[in-house]
């Protein structure tokens, strides 16, 4: 069969691949990867902002767990956005130095992203105990400020009380919370669900960005290597052209002397 015979004689040639558009393929793929990481960075920033504000209010103890991870997510999200833009600009303009800088920053960034992703998933299991301790501490202080903080949490998450909306182990603040606000869910379920969802989104985004940018590392290394080779080849051609022109000028001058 002609088709099978052509298939059996097919061999991959690197030079043919690059000459036939392989360079543009790698370049456009790197642009696409950086676009995806840019979107993931925006998600990371949004998740960090939501995590920091949703557990806000005046009770800093309740956000001590999520605040650290939320802040780290925002910082890394901003760095991801900047580095992704640098990668896009370097690939689009075929700047080898920018791609080398992007490659170095990306190595650091991947380590940070994977660390945040792992930390976020690890902290998910500790939310319940940490939140209960924070609520118990604020409740036992029995001050106007601590009670106002609990009320703010109840309003923010539309819940009453920690585990039982109408009684033990921590009564709602105020005690007629269910009647006053009409909330029937417990704050243990509402707050934990919200924080776990946010931590899950941040952790997932961190892992996804890490995987995407690991691929980006490979393609950026290939791209700046090919750009460097092309620049060296262009430099060699210019040097050779300069040498030939110099020989022609010298030869013409010598012939002129003999005339």
In Å, how far from its chain's centre is CA 218? 17
Over residues 119-126, the mean pLDDT reads 68
Does 130 fall in a domain? Answer: yes
Buried-state track 198-211, b at ≥16 Cβ within 10 A, e below 16: bbebbbbbbbbbbe
User: Is the pLDDT confidence value at 89 over 80?
Assistant: yes
Q: Which residue has the higher pLDDT, 14 or 157?
A: 157
- The pLDDT assigned to 168 comes to 46
Residues 6+ apart with CB under 8 A from 94: 27, 227
Does 150 fall in a domain? Answer: no
How far is 253 from 127, CA to CA, in rounded Å?
A: 86
The residue segments making up the domain with residue 119 are 26-142+189-253
DSSP state of 18: I
Band (pLDDT 50/70/90 cuts) for residue 244 is low
- The pLDDT assigned to 245 comes to 64
Band (pLDDT 50/70/90 cuts) for residue 109 is confident
Does 127 fall in a domain? Answer: yes
DSSP state of 178: H
Closest CA to 87 of 217, 187, 255, 179: 217
User: Is the pLDDT confidence value at 38 over 50?
Assistant: yes
- The pLDDT assigned to 21 comes to 65
**Other C-beta atoms within 10 Å of 157: how many?**
22
- The pLDDT assigned to 16 comes to 53
Residues 154 and 180: beta-carbon distance below 8 Å: no
pLDDT digits (tens, 9 = 90+) for 54-81: 655 444 545 555 566 677 778 878 888 8
Does 208 fall in a domain? Answer: yes
User: Is the pLDDT confidence value at 51 over 50?
Assistant: yes
**Other C-beta atoms within 10 Å of 151: how many?**
20
Q: Which residue has the higher pLDDT, 130 or 10?
A: 130
DSSP state of 256: H
**Number of separate domains in the chain:** 1
Does 160 fall in a domain? Answer: no
Average pLDDT, the chain: 70
What's the whole-model pTM score? Answer: 0.52
How far is 104 from 85, CA to CA, in rounded Å?
A: 14
How far is 16 from 24, CA to CA, in rounded Å?
A: 13
pLDDT digits (tens, 9 = 90+) for 190-217: 877 777 776 677 667 667 777 777 888 8
Over residues 176-200, the mean pLDDT reads 75
pLDDT digits (tens, 9 = 90+) for 146-174: 777 778 778 878 888 777 645 444 555 56
Closest CA to 111 of 70, 83, 86, 85: 83
User: Is the pLDDT confidence value at 219 over 70?
Assistant: yes
Question: Given the structure tokens 């105020």, which residue do they identify?
Answer: 174
């Amino acid at each position: 069969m002609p088709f099978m015979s052509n298939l059996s004689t097919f061999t991959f040639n690197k030079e043919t691949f690059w000459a036939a558009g392989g360079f543009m393929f790698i370049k456009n793929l790197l642009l696409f990867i950086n676009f995806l990481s840019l979107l993931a960075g925006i998600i990371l920033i949004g998740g960090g902002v939501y995590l920091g504000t949703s557990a806000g209010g005046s009770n800093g103890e309740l956000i001590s767990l999520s605040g650290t991870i939320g802040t780290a997510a925002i910082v890394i999200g901003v760095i991801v956005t900047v580095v992704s833009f640098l990668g896009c600009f370097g690939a689009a303009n075929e700047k080898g130095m920018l791609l080398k800088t992007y490659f170095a920053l990306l190595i650091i960034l991947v380590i940070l992203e994977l660390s945040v992703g792992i930390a976020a998933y690890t902290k998910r299991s500790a939310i319940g105990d940490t939140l209960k301790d924070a609520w118990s501490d604020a409740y036992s202080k029995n001050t106007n400020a601590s009670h106002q903080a609990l009320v703010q949490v109840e309003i923010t998450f539309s819940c009453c009380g920690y585990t039982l909306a109408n009684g033990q182990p921590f009564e709602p603040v105020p005690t007629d919370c269910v009647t006053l606000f009409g909330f029937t869910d417990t704050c243990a379920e509402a707050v934990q669900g919200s924080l776990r969802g946010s931590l899950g989104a941040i952790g997932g985004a961190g892992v996804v960005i890490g995987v995407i940018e690991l691929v980006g590392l490979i393609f950026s290394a290939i791209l700046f290597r090919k750009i460097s080779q092309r620049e060296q080849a262009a430099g060699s051609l210019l040097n050779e052209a300069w040498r030939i022109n110099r020989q022609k000028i010298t030869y013409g001058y010598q012939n002129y002397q003999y005339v």
